[in-house]
Structure 1
Amino acid sequence: MTQNILCEVSSCVHNVNQENKCGATQIYVVNNKSKNASNSEETDCKTFEPTS
């Protein structure tokens, strides 16, 4: 499994030094519309935590 997770969400605490690299120990992605997503727009990252 890859260790290089990219993310451009600058308002997330896991965005390491705002360099678009996710520093979370694990990533949790879920479907947001149906049971079987057919594209990335139909998924959500539940790992997101807002910066304070």
Structure 2
Amino acid sequence: MAQDVLCEVSSCVFNKQGERCGASQIYVVNNRAKNAENSEETDCKTFEPKDL
């Protein structure tokens, strides 16, 4: 299992210093097909917006 999850989405509440994801779990889903063939066909459902 991954020890460090990197994320460049600075508008996410879980984005910590150094682009590390601070969420306790990561939930990724398909966004186009039943079986994704590349990263563009997936979405991170863990995202929560920061209060900007």
TM-score normalised by length of structure 2: 0.93
Unaligned runs of 5+ in 2: none
Distance in 2, matches of 1:34 and 1:46, equals 16
TM-score normalised by length of structure 1: 0.93
Runs of 4+ with deviation above 3 angstroms: none
RMSD of aligned alpha carbons: 0.6
Aligned residue-pair number: 51
**Higher strand content, 1 or 2:** 2
Distance in 2, matches of 1:3 and 1:14, equals 15
Distance in 1, matches of 2:2 and 2:48, equals 22
Unaligned runs of 5+ in 1: none
Deviation at 1:15, TM superposition (A): 0.3
Map residues 1-52 of structure 1 onto 2, 5 A cutoff. 1-17=1-17, 19-52=18-51
Distance in 1, matches of 2:47 and 2:3, equals 17
Distance in 1, matches of 2:3 and 2:26, equals 11
Distance in 2, matches of 1:48 and 1:7, equals 10
